[in-house]
């Protein structure tokens, strides 16, 4: 039986695009093992898809969307710090 993965949402601006050369591939690969990864890019999903392909990261991503999804967790620079 195939294990259903939970959805994990990652903001593109100031998160993923700032860390492509600082271990983003390893980070996404680790998350990909247990989560369906969705990239949030409200302004330009098509440009983000091209960027992911150019940086060899598209293979880890289920989809790029401009809509907020119901994810089990969000990785976002505008979250609440505690």
Residue range 8-33, pLDDT digits in tens = 999 998 888 887 788 889 999 999 99
> What is the value of pTM for the model shown?
0.86
d(CA 56, CA 20): 10
In degrees, to the nearest 5, what angle opens at C-alpha 45 toward C-alphas 28 and 54?
Answer: 55
- Reported as a single tens digit per residue, the pLDDT across 30-59 is 999 999 999 999 889 999 999 999 999 999
Can you say whether the dihedral through the CA atoms of 61, 63, 68, 71 is positive or negative? negative
Options 3.40.50.720, 3.40.50.1000, 3.30.70.20, 3.40.366.30; CATH of 6-75: 3.40.50.1000
Domain residue spans in the chain?
6-75
């Amino acid at each position: 039986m195939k294990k259903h993965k939970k959805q994990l949402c990652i903001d593109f601006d100031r998160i993923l695009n700032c860390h492509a050369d600082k271990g983003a591939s390893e980070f996404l690969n680790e998350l990909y093992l247990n989560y369906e990864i969705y990239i949030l890019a409200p302004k330009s999903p098509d440009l983000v898809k091209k960027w992911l392909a150019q940086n060899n990261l598209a293979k880890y991503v289920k989809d790029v969307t401009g809509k907020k999804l119901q994810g089990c967790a969000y990785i976002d620079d505008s979250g609440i710090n505690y």
